[in-house]
Amino acid sequence: EFSSLSELEKLSHTRIYYAHPYCSSDKGTNENHNGLFRRFLPKGKKSTDYPVEYISRVECWANTLPRKILGYKTPEECFREEMLAALTA
C-alpha cells in the first residue's frame, strides 16, 4: 500500500513522515487537535448523532482558532496564503 510513497516524495518534493498509529508522542499536533474537538464531540459518540449545523460551527471554530505552531495564524489564513502562492507561482 505504501510501497510507492518514496517515489511520490521525490516527484512532488514533499516530505513524508511516518507516525506510529498508537504512539501519541509521534503525532503531537494531531493529538492536540483531537483534544480541541473532544470539547464538542466526546469520544465514543458518533458524528451522525449531531446536527450538520453543529458540526459546521465546530469546524468553523477550529479553522479560525490561532495556533502557536502556525505562528499564531489561523489554519484558514495559512490555507489561503498557500492557495494564493500556488495560484501565483
d(CA 25, CA 44): 22
Q: Which residue has the higher pLDDT, 86 or 24?
A: 86
Q: What angle do CA 25, 1, 20 make, to 5 degrees?
A: 10
Whether the Cβ atoms of residue 37 and residue 30 lie closer than 8 Å to each other:
no
d(CA 84, CA 10): 24
CA nearest 64: which of 50, 81, 78, 47? 78
Residues 38-84: tens digit of each pLDDT: 999 998 888 899 999 999 999 999 989 999 889 999 999 999 999 99
- pLDDT value for 2: 66
Residues 10-42: tens digit of each pLDDT: 888 777 776 666 766 667 777 788 888 899 999
Spatial neighbors of 55 by CB under 8 A, at least 6 apart, are 41, 47
